[in-house]
């Protein structure tokens, strides 16, 4: 079974969108195209077998990319997506999208079955990822930290995960971004990371 990963860009002060749900600050960060982000994203995405996102994130993609009018632009064709919402939202024509609500555990089982040996990508937002973490279903956090502070907005991960629960496993510069990877230590006695 693959990993369940939260892969996202964030501001220095821990927001993944500003108070207007805008990502302009993120696009500005790499305006000069100095990062190898696209290449790294492709390598990451090749290993993804299932995707989950909350409704704000989904609606941002619908609106920003005019996805209902241009469904061929849907970036995840061939990869099943689970969108969490209590509402009835339009599906992108031809996309493999399942709308779900409530407990993330059962959905995670479906996602793991679909993903097989590949990874599960939790796109966000932060509270949805927190719901997976609450159930010990988050294995890895992969961050591209942009050189920006926003002072408010959509939180990266509104949960308490203390140093004993997170291990830094990767740290490198990519153009203007700091790329950080953390393993999330599961809270089980049999986990080797918890042995010391």
102 binds ligand NAP (CB under 6 A): yes
Distance CA 56, CA 30 (A): 24
Helical spans, DSSP H, in 78-181: 104-115, 126-134
26 binds ligand NAP (CB under 6 A): yes
Please count the CA atoms within 13 angstroms of the CA of 36 that sit on its side-chain side: 8
- C-alpha dihedral (151, 153, 157, 162), degrees to nearest 10: 20
Residue 86's CB: how many other CB atoms inside 10 A?
9
119 binds ligand NAP (CB under 6 A): no
Q: How far is the CB of 107 from ligand NAP (least distance, A)?
A: 8
16 binds ligand NAP (CB under 6 A): yes
Give the total of residues touching ligand NAP (CB under 6 A). 27
Residue with smaller CB distance to ligand NAP, 24 or 191:
24
Q: Which residues bind ligand NAP (CB under 6 A)?
A: 8-9, 16-17, 21, 23, 26, 53-57, 60, 84-87, 101-102, 104, 123-126, 128, 131, 154
């Amino acid at each position: 079974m693959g990993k369940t990963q939260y892969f996202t860009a964030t501001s220095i002060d821990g927001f993944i969108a500003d108070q207007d749900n805008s990502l302009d600050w993120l696009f500005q960060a790499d305006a000069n195209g100095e990062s190898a982000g696209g290449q790294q994203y492709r390598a990451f995405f090749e290993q993804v077998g299932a995707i989950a996102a909350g409704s704000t994130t989904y609606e941002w993609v619908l609106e920003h990319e005019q996805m209902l009018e241009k469904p061929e632009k849907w970036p995840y064709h061939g990869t099943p997506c689970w969108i969490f919402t209590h509402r009835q939202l339009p599906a992108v024509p031809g996309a493999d999208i399942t709308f779900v609500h409530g407990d993330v555990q059962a959905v995670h089982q479906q996602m793991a079955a679909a993903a097989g040996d590949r990874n599960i990508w939790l796109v966000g937002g932060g509270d949805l990822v927190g719901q997976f973490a609450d159930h010990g279903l988050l294995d890895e956090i992969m961050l591209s930290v942009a050189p920006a502070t926003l002072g408010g907005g959509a939180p990266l991960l509104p949960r308490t995960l203390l140093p004993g629960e997170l291990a830094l496993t990767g740290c490198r510069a990519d153009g203007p971004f700091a790329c950080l990877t953390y393993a999330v230590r599961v809270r089980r006695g049999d986990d080797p990371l918890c042995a010391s």
